[in-house]
Structure 1
Amino acid sequence: MAGSEGSPAGKHVAVFAFPFATHAAPLLSLVQRIAAASPATAFSFFSTEKSNLACFPGGRGGEGSECPNVMAYDVWDGAPEGYVPSGTNLVEAVEIFLRAVPGNFESVLEAVERERGRKITCLLTDGFYWFAADMARERSVPWVPVWTASPCALLAHMETDSIRQIRGTSDMTLDAIPGLSTMRMMDMIKEIFDTTAPLPTMVYRMGQVLPQAAAVVSNSFGNMDPIVERELRSKLRRFLDVGPFVLSPPPPLSDEHGCIPWLDQQETASVVYVSFGSMIRPPPHEVTALVNALDKAASPFLWSYRSDAEAEVPQALLEKAAAGKRGKVVPWAPQLHVLRHRAVGAFVTHCGWNSVLESMIGGVPMVGRPFFGDQCMNARAVEAGWRIGAAVEGGAFTEEATAAALERVLAGEEKEGMRERAGALKEKALKAVEEPQGSSTKNFEALVEIVTG
């Protein structure tokens, strides 16, 4: 029998995931930590069928799972019967999904409340979901959004109206907006300037309603960017940085392709690690330019290539890797462990937020080639804010620009300063998750109290 809603056994937290890119998995990881800290609380995790199959490969959670108080439930992805997606167009899938919200969540939520015998006592959602503010208010429960990208990007979304009013050249910095003074207009997330499309409309509305949240949770750590943190705290009821998520707890080592033994054979800070996450593939001419730049740098490289390397990477590169001369190309690498290895001297990255955090944790300078979303802001912060790396000039891989960026990070006069500053951020991140006094540890305890108290 379920307990009363005022008792731990009566608590029921609804978790709304955004089922695209790398949103659902880190949210689930955070939920599992909270669930472990409050085993009498029920957690219902709502996402699309495709997303849940990826997040819960062993089933739907519940009894017999690692977190028996977490259960997964499917919501409609918005696609009509017989719909066939056009290629790999993520924007199309997102827009179809957004046309179905919040009704798809509402209908399943009511059914789950009946099934589990508990009314919802808290809404813990992806930060994108502006509609959760209304749902929480109607139910008189706290709303706690989780922001999985950079705090600087969150601040930009909250300052959208101010940014739109700025007139100037693309290389003009946003000096008038505290926390964004190192950013240029060209670095801003393109959705900020779009007033009509579904995704930009969603994030604009999010920026307007976030001050209503009981707390906003961030995958960041204290004193990483003090001015940005100060601004967010002034605009929100409560801002809780509880990251880096990947350190709480750190993932176990899985290295089926032998990356770590290969790195063990390399000299300290000599290897260039290359990875663009699970979704991004540079166009073929940029891959060729990067290959030529790596060859020019004459540094050993480890490339995590999430596609058909034999079809897309120049054969000469693969031959060098196969011969063990200078490189190793693998379909997947244990990135956090790779970046914390003494042999890695530079990380060529798309500057997705998870990758930036993992590079900080490893104390490794970055070479950034951003593609979309907050990646341009992250690349700018890496180069001009934290000064722990270099962005590829021109925003795309050319042999000359990429070679120059690699030279700056690996051998230029800035090299030591970059590594020292990256090392300082690494120490801040590790200190933040220390128990019991780390800032992220304390903020996580406060989060558990808000969600389950």
Structure 2
Amino acid sequence: MSHPHFLVIPYPILGHMNPLLQFSQVLVNHGCKITFLITEFNQTRMKNAIEHLGTQIKFVALPDGLDPEDDRSDQPKVILSLRNTLPPKLHNLLQDINASDGDDSKITCLVISKNMGWALEFGHKLGIKGALMWPASATSLASFQSIPTLIHDRIIDPETGLPTRKQEIQLLPNSPMMDTANLPWCSLGKNFFLHMLEDTESLKFGEWWLCNTTCELEPGALGKWPRFLPIGPLMQSDTTKSSFWREDTTCLDWLDQHPPQSVVYVSFGSLAIVEANQFKELALGLDLLNKPFLWVVRPSNDSNKDNNAYPDGFIGSKGKIIGWAPQKKILNHPAIACFITHCGWNSIIEGLCGGVPFLCWPFFSDQFINKSYICDVWKVGMGLDKDENGLISKGEIRKKVEQVLGNEDIKARSLKLMELTLNNSAEGGQSSKNLQKFIDWAKD
């Protein structure tokens, strides 16, 4: 067979679809054929991306099993519905694709993301190869794989996943110490923990665990299991537009009007919700900076419309506030001085590839581990600390921005890490070789 045909099955949220779309684009550039599965609910929201990619990637849509009015931010509900709804429909889809004319049309490999482990087991029973494309850090996957050990050592409760006592542990060699309260599943509830136990068990049906990372970034995690295959940074597909919100590209012209390293960029990704009092404190903190800032405030929905109320006294005259951003282009713009981020892995990789210092504001899941890497291991940023009321104060925001912008060591390390990271996906780089190894495996 000359070129493998991949069926790509992401969990249907932006933080999973983006890296899997980027990876799909890379595979297309290597001559592979891609069928990309999306939910019918997301099909209309991704209309621009589907039109933009044209015939390069074939999109197919299946129902997610939920009603139109259901809350799709309820992750356990979505996960359970997908697992109950998709298998028979996926079976029919595979039959239809494989019944097409010619061997070249047959699916040779499934590539899935987190929360879709059942699909690897499903494909295995049909004799189809499978691989996981993990959308977060390799360390976070390693933490899920370590759950049986953590239970055995009585570090976490086997029913809830919550820590049995307050302590810090080192999960892996060459990885930062972490508070057990910040294990990725602790903030997401018992149901999510039990799902992840099941999902992680299914991952053994994937021959490769692909990660958007590099050997230099996470050596401890990548050395732990031979299935790990770092293929990052996935930055090649700058043309991929998969956002559910329209990107405001006027911010790029606005950035052009500012001198190098002068603008503070603020974005908390596609899921994190800033509570109302914290939102006001952030707004006032940005005003206090007396520096230009570019702030992404996502379009309101039912869950955050009341939170995005700007406080009395907020001027914002030096800033630009947008609904959604062309983030890779922003982080590669010379005007950006630092990145105030929720520490989602996609954002971190994009920031590292822009050589930008970070100010860390994690909300949940793996974001706390990612913060530890930025502040304690790579030393390319600082954390923002909460006050006695649990808020990151306007004064703290101003203080830390001034500290990070005045730290020449952080800037130098950021540029060095950018070079190391980007070299991996250049021709002859380790990630580039790993990618070719994966494609050759899929051909056999």
Same fold (TM over 0.5): yes
Alignment partners' CA distance in 2, 1:369 and 1:304: 14
Gaps of 5+ in 1: 1-6
RMSD of aligned residue pairs (Cα, Å): 3.2
Letter in 1 for 2:39: T
CA–CA distance in structure 2, aligned partners of residues 144 and 156 of structure 1: 19
Residue 156 (structure 1) aligned with residue 143 (structure 2):
yes
Deviation at 1:360, TM superposition (A): 0.8
Q: Does the residue aligned with 1:302 lie in a helix, a strand or coil?
A: strand
Give 1:98's aligned residue: 83
Match for residue 98 of structure 2 among 113, 116, 125: 113
Give the drift of 1:303: 1.1
Letter in 2 for 1:408: Q
Q: Which amino acid in 2 is paired with 1:141?
A: I
Kept after mapping to 2: 8 A contact 1:369/1:396: no
Shift of 1:28: 2.4
User: Match for 2:347 among 350, 355, 358?
Assistant: 355
Post-superposition offset of 1:257:
4.6
- Matched with 2:159 is none
SS at match of 2:258: coil
Residue aligning to 2:233:
244
Letter in 1 for 2:350: E
Range with greater deviation from structure 2 (157-166 or 400-409): 400-409
Structure 1 residue 215 and structure 2 residue 208: aligned? yes
**Residue 26 (structure 2) pairs with residue 29 (structure 1):** no
**Could you tell me which amino acid in structure 2 is paired with residue 30 of structure 1?**
F
Task: Provide closer, same or farther for how the CA distance between residues 202 and 193 of structure 1 changes in structure 2, counting only shifts above 3 A.
Answer: same
What is the aligned counterpart of 1:313 among 277, 296, 310?
A: 310
Aligned ranges 1:65-84 → 2 under 5 Å: 65-67=54-56, 70-79=57-66, 84=69
Alignment of 1:367-382 (within 5 A): 367-382=359-374
**Which residue of the partner structure matches residue 155 of structure 2?**
166
Moved more, 128-137 or 363-372: 128-137
Q: Which stretch has the larger CA shift, 113-122 or 278-287? A: 113-122
1:22/1:54 Cα in 2 relative to 1: closer, same or farther (>3 Å)? farther
Question: What residue number does 2:11 align with?
Answer: 18
- Give the Å deviation of 1:49: 1.1
Provide the TM-score with structure 1 as the length reference: 0.82
Q: Describe how 1:259-408 pairs up with structure 2 within 5 A.
A: 259-307=251-299, 312-314=309-311, 316-317=313-314, 319-321=315-317, 326-394=318-386, 396-408=391-403
* 1:248–1:103 Cα change, 3 Å: same
Q: Normalization by structure 2: what TM-score?
A: 0.84
1:387 match: secondary structure:
coil
Query: C-alpha separation between the residues in 2 aligned to 1:428 and 1:251?
Result: 23
Q: Give the direction of change, closer, same or farther, for the CA distance of 1:295–1:364 in structure 2 (3 Å limit).
A: same
Q: Report the 3-state secondary structure (helix = DSSP H, G, I; strand = E; otherwise coil) of the residue aligned with 2:416.
A: helix
% identical equivalent positions: 25
SS of residue matched to 2:223: helix
Equivalent pairs counted in the alignment come to 422
Greater RCO structure (CA 8 Å; 6+ sep): 2
User: Structure 1's 172 and 422: CA in aligned 2 closer, same or farther, altered over 3 A?
Assistant: farther
Q: How far apart are the structure 1 equivalents of 2:45 and 2:120?
A: 27
Match of 1:183, SS state, is strand
Deviation per CA, 1:387-411, whole angstroms, max 9, x where unpaired? Answer: 2212222374333443343233223
Cα offset for 1:301?
1.1
Give ranges in structure 2 of 5+ residues lacking alignment.
157-162
- State the shift of 1:300 in Å: 2.0
